[in-house]
A and B are shown apart, each in its own frame.
Chain A
Amino acid sequence: MLPAIEVHKLSKWYHLRADLPAEYHTLRDALAGALGRLAGRRPAPVRTVRALDAVSFEVRPGEVVGIVGRNGAGKSTLLKLLAGITEPTGGRAVLRGRVGALLDVGAGFHPELTGRENIYFSGAILGMKKAEIERKLDAIVAFAEVEEFLETPVKFYSSGMYVRLAFAVAAHLEADILLVDEVLAVGDLAFQRKCLGKMEAVSEEGRTVLFVSHNPAHVKRLCGRAIWLERGRVRFDGNAHEAVARYQASLLAPPDDPATSADGFVAWRLVGEPDPFTLDHEGPVTLEITIAVREEVRDGLHALVLQTPDGLRVAGWGFQGVRLSPGTHRLHYRFPTLPLRPGSYRWFAGLWDGGETVDTLLFPRPLVIATPAHSVLGDTWAGVLNVPCALEVKKTP
C-alpha cells in the first residue's frame, strides 16, 4: 500500500538579513539595497536559518505519528509545509487523501459573528463544504455544549466556550490525513480530556494523523510512533515511548556529566551497550559507576536506587561492607534482567562509612529504556515494569 504521507528531503530555509530584525522589510530598505548594489556596495550578509533540513519519513495510512522536539526544532514548520501554508525550499512531499490541518483553534473566528455564523465560516475555511457543515452542525454544537448561545456573538462567550466551539468545528472535519498542532493544549482539564478522547476516536477510525505536541503524555497516549526533531533534522523515528524517552532525556541531560566534584560519585554508564546511556533490551546488563574517594572507606554502606523522573522508586539495592582505598574506582553492577517499560529513569547512589556520609548523588543524566513494550500500546495502564505475559482462554464445561 502506498504511504499516506511521503516526505523526501523536505527543507525550509529562511533568509534573514543580518542587519535587520527578522522579517522586517520596508520599501526604504529595498530601495536602499537596490541603490547600494548599483553603487557596487555589497548587500548586508544574509543569515540562513534552516528551520527544516532535509527531513524524510513516510507514514502509512491509519498510522498516528507524534512529532516531538523543542521550540524551534521545526515541528510547526513541518506541519505548515504539509498543510500548504508555506512552500518548501527544497525536497518534496506527497499527501494521498483529503488533508485537514488544525494548526490553530478558532481559525477564522470573528468576534462579532454568532456561534452559528462562526461555525459556518470556520468550517468553510478549514475545507468543509456547506452541505457538510449543515449536516454536522448539531454534532458540533452538542460537542461544544453551546446550544443556548448559538445565536450570540462569540465576543460574549467565555474563553472556555470559545475554545470548545472552535475545537468542535475542527474535530468534525472529515479528512483522511489530519495535521494537528497543539490544539489540545487549550481549555480546561475536562475539555482537554474530551478532546483527547475525540482524537483517539479519530485515530481508531483509521485516519492518518500527524500530531505535534509539547505534552509527551499526549503523544504516548495517542501515537504508536513518534518522530523527534531537533534543529530541523530527524533525531529519532520509531516507537513513541522510545522517542519521547530519548527526547526527554536530551532535555535533562547536560552534554557532559558535570555532576560532580572530583570527590564522590562521578559518572555512570552501561558497559557493552552501543549507547552507554540507553538500554534497548531486557538484560543481562552491566552498570558501571565511577567513584573517587579521598579517604579510605573501611566498612561502607552503599545504596543504589533506580527511580522514575517524578521520583517513584522502581528498585533499590543495598551493599554492605564495601571497602575502597583512596583514589578512583569503577563499580560494576550486574543485573540479570532489567524489565522496564520504555521511558526515562534516573540513578541515585549513596555511600556511607561508619554513619558518616561519603557522598549521595542523583545522577542528572537519565537512563533511557528503549525496550519494546510487551503490553499493547497506550500508556494509561502501563505501569513501570515490562513483564511478558501470555493469555490463555479456557471455557469451563
Chain B
Amino acid sequence: MRSRFISRVSWGKAVSDDRSLYRVIEPSQGWKALRWRELWAHRELLFFFVWRDLKVRYKQTALGAAWALVQPLAALLIFSLVLGRVVGVPSEGVPYPLFAYTALVPWTYFSSTLTQATNSVVRQAHLIRRVAFPRLLIPASGALTGLVDLILSLLPVPVLWALYGSGPSWRLLTLPLWLLLAVAVALGAGTWLAALNVRYRDVRHLVPFLVQLWFFATPVVYPSRLVPAPWRHVYALNPVAGVVEGFRWALAGAPPPTAVLAVSTGAAALLVVSGVIYFRHAERAFADVI
C-alpha cells in the first residue's frame, strides 16, 4: 500500500525550489538511525538552548555565577575535615584537599547534570506538545550548560596549587579530553534517565538514591587503589571513575588512571551511544505520553 502511494507522487517539478525542504510524514518503523541530518540542521537551536539556560540560571540571584563554586567548595571543606583529617584517607601522595577537589569538580558536574537532565524533558512538556524540534537538544543543552559551571569551578584549583606548593604541568593540556569524557558520561546517563522519566515518573524519585550510590562507587573522596585488585576492573565499569581519575591526574599529579581508563572509556562510549539511540527512539512519542 505504501509503495503504491509513493509511485503516485512524481518528484518532477518542485513546489519549493529547495527539495531538501520536502518533508515526509509517516509512521517510523523500528529503530531508525539517529537522524543526524535533523540534528545537524538544528545545531543553531542547541546554541540557543544553552544560551537561554545560562541566561536564566543565575537571574535574580545575589551571588550569580559564584554559585558554581559554592557547591564543590562546601563539599571540599566537609570532606577535607572529615575524611582528610579525622579519618585520614590516603590520597596518593597528593595533599588531600587538592586530591578531593580535583575530583569533586567533575563529580559535581556529573551529579548536577544527571539530576537536572532527568527532569529536563518533563519540565519542557509544554514546548514538546506544541513545537517540533529534536528533543535530544534538551538534555544535550543541559550537559553543555553544566560545562560552564564546571570550568568556573576550576578557578580555585590554582589557589590550591599555591597553598600546597604544587603547580600545573604538561598534563594540564589533556584536560579537554577529560572534559569531553565527562560530557559523554553525563549525556549518556542523562539521556537514559530523561527518556525513562517521560514514561515513568518514578525515575525522578530514584535519581537521588542513584546519585548517592554512584558517588560512593566513584573514587572521589578516596583513591581507587583502596578497591581490592581483583575487583578493580569491575569497579572501572563505572565510567565516572575514569573521568574523575583523569581529572585528578591532569590537575593534581596523581598516578595515571591506566588501569581504569580503558574499561571506563569503553563503558562511557557504550553509555552515551546507547543513551542517545534510546532517547532518539523514545523522543518520537514524547508528545503523546508526556
Contact = CB atoms under 8 A, between A and B. Distances in A.
Interface string A111-131: 011000100110011100110
A95 interface: yes
12 contacts: A80-B287, A86-B285, A95-B22, A96-B15, A97-B18, A97-B21, A103-B130, A104-B130, A112-B60, A124-B44, A124-B45, A176-B15
Given A88-B27, A117-B55, 12 more contacts: A2-B14, A27-B203, A30-B200, A87-B25, A94-B22, A94-B25, A97-B16, A113-B56, A121-B51, A124-B48, A125-B127, A153-B59
A112 B56 contact: yes
B127 A93 contact: no
B21 A98 contact: yes
Nearest to B198: A25
Interface string B8-25: 011011111010011111
A129 B28 contact: no
Q: Which of B5, B14, B48 has the most CB of A within 10 A?
A: B48
A10 B25 CA distance: 9
A6 to B, nearest CB: 7
Nearest to B21: A98
A90 B15 CA distance: 25
Nearest to A51: B288
Q: Which of A2, A4, A89, A176 has the most CB of B within 10 A?
A: A2
6 closest Cβ contacts across the A-B interface? A97-B16, A84-B132, A104-B130, A96-B15, A27-B202, A124-B48
A90 B2 CA distance: 10
Nearest to A114: B55
B131 A125 contact: yes
Contacts of A83: 131-132
Interface in B128-183: 128-133
Contacts, number: 133
Nearest to A104: B130
A86 B288 CA distance: 7
Interface of A: 1-4, 6, 8, 10, 14, 23, 25-28, 30, 61, 80-99, 101, 103-104, 107-108, 110, 112-113, 117, 120-121, 124-126, 129-130, 153, 176
Contacts of B203: 27
B201 A26 contact: yes
Contacts of A81: 25
B26 A92 contact: yes
A88 B25 contact: yes
Contact of A85 (B45, B59, B129): B129
Nearest to B10: A2
Contacts of B15: 1-4, 61, 96-97, 176
B214 to A, nearest CB: 19
A170 to B, nearest CB: 11
A126 B132 CA distance: 8
A113 to B, nearest CB: 6
Contact of B127 (A8, A90, A108): A108
A120 B55 CA distance: 12
A68 to B, nearest CB: 21
A50 B19 CA distance: 33
Interface of B: 2, 5, 9-10, 12-16, 18, 21-28, 44-45, 48, 51-52, 55-56, 59-60, 126-133, 199-203, 284-285, 287-289
Contacts of B56: 110, 112-113
A160 to B, nearest CB: 21
A84 B126 CA distance: 15
A14 B2 CA distance: 22
Contact of A121 (B2, B18, B52): B52
B5 A92 contact: yes
Nearest to B290: A23
Contacts of B288: 14, 23, 86
A28 B202 contact: yes
A89 B27 contact: yes
A357 to B, nearest CB: 56
A92 B24 contact: yes
A383 to B, nearest CB: 36
B16 A113 contact: no
Given A8-B5, A26-B200, A94-B9, A107 B131 contact: yes
A85 B14 contact: no
Given A1-B15, A117-B55, A91 B287 contact: no
Contacts of A25: 199-200, 289
Contacts of A97: 15-16, 18, 21
A96 B21 contact: yes
A385 B200 CA distance: 60
A129 B45 CA distance: 8
Contacts of B199: 25, 30
Nearest to B15: A96
Given A124-B45, A125-B133, A99 B23 contact: yes
Contacts of B52: 110, 113, 117, 121
Contacts of A27: 200, 202-203
A92 B21 contact: no
A107 B13 contact: no
Contacts of B130: 85, 103-104, 107
Contact of B131 (A85, A87, A98): A85
A25 B203 CA distance: 12
Q: Which of A27, A113, A130 has the most CB of B within 10 A?
A: A27
A351 B130 CA distance: 55
A85 B287 contact: yes
Contacts of B133: 125
A88 B24 CA distance: 11
Contacts of A2: 9-10, 12-15
Nearest to A124: B48
Q: Which of B13, B15, B27, B132 has the most CB of A within 10 A?
A: B15
Contacts of B51: 120-121
A94 B24 contact: yes
B2 to A, nearest CB: 7
A93 B24 contact: yes
B126 to A, nearest CB: 8
A89 to B, nearest CB: 6
Nearest to A23: B289
